[in-house]
């Protein structure tokens, strides 16, 4: 039984590699159809990755577009040393990190009723005006949940590199340790060490708020939470 499952996994992997090789070949030949397929497959996850580093949705969308332009122009340098998915995320993470540093130095935000204050569990934006009305829960519970969500997102953005990247890739994007090591071009031990330190820094930044929230009545936990404890 186990042998059958293993053979099935191998066959699936071979099929994926063949499909990837075909797509890469068409991209290198300048195929617009192949590029359209690439955007359809990776646009949403790459945008979600970028949006966790850059709080302005419009800027995140612009950067996502720039990333795909870099992928299109740089596909000739892809030689298959890593999977296409890993190579794409490596480019995206590099660009997001650069933009994140620029944002911290230069970007100023004005808080208006249209300002984005967090993300939904599906990755969509939550504006300040959206927090004013909620038919599903009491205003108090909604305020507590949104406040916690904003705090978590804000605290995550303050976790310094290289720990921020590992926490996002592992706990939000769901990459394996091996894939993260490949994306960041570091060894497995470094990935686990950075993840442990990144989670610890995130937990420390949220500890005061979490302690205060625990004392509040009816403070239900928000969806799409980021784990603060170490996990395998």
**Which tens digits make up the pLDDT trace of 220-230?**
444 444 554 44
DSSP state of 220: P
Residue 133 has a pLDDT of 53
Q: Is the pLDDT of residue 196 over 90?
A: yes
Binning pLDDT at 50, 70 and 90, where does residue 135 land?
low
**Which contacts of 55-59 are long-range, i.e. CB under 8 A and separated by 24 or more positions?**
55/103, 55/109, 55/116, 55/153, 55/157, 56/103, 56/107, 56/109, 56/116, 57/116, 57/125, 59/99, 59/103, 59/107
Residue 138 has a pLDDT of 62
Residues 177-199 have a mean pLDDT of 93
Total of domains in the chain: 2
Residues 213 and 144 in one domain: yes
Residues 121 and 147 in one domain: yes
The answer to whether 92 touches 79, Cβ cutoff 8 Å, is no
Residues 103 and 135 in one domain: no
pTM for the predicted model, two decimal places: 0.56
* Least confident window among 2-6, 37-41, 187-191: 2-6
Alpha-carbon gap, residue 202 to 205, rounded angstroms: 5
Residues 14 and 91 in one domain: yes
Backbone dihedral angles phi then psi of residue 116, each to the nearest 5 degrees: -80, 130
Domain that holds residue 20: 1-109
Q: What percent of the chain has pLDDT over 90?
A: 25
């Amino acid at each position: 039984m186990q042998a059958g499952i293993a053979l099935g996994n191998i066959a699936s992997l071979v099929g994926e590699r063949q499909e990837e090789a075909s797509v890469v070949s068409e991209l290198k030949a300048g195929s617009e159809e192949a590029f359209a397929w690439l955007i359809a497959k990776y646009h949403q996850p790459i945008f979600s990755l970028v949006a966790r580093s850059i709080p302005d949705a419009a800027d995140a969308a612009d950067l996502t577009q720039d990333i795909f332009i870099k992928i299109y122009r740089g596909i000739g340098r892809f030689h298959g040393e890593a999977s296409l998915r890993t190579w794409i995320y490596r480019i995206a993470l590099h660009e997001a990190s650069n933009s994140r540093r620029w944002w911290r130095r230069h970007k100023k935000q004005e808080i208006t009723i249209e300002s984005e204050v967090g993300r939904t569990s599906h990755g969509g934006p939550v504006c300040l005006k959206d927090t004013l009305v909620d038919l599903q829960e009491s205003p108090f519970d909604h305020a507590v949940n949104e406040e916690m969500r904003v705090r978590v997102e804000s605290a995550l953005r303050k976790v310094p590199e290289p720990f921020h990247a590992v926490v996002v890739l592992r706990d939000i994007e769901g990459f394996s340790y091996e894939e993260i090591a490949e994306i960041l071009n570091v060894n497995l031990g470094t990935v686990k060490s950075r993840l442990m330190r990144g989670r610890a820094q995130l937990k420390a930044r949220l500890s005061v708020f979490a302690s205060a929230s625990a004392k509040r009545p009816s403070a239900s936990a928000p969806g799409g939470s980021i784990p603060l404890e170490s996990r395998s």
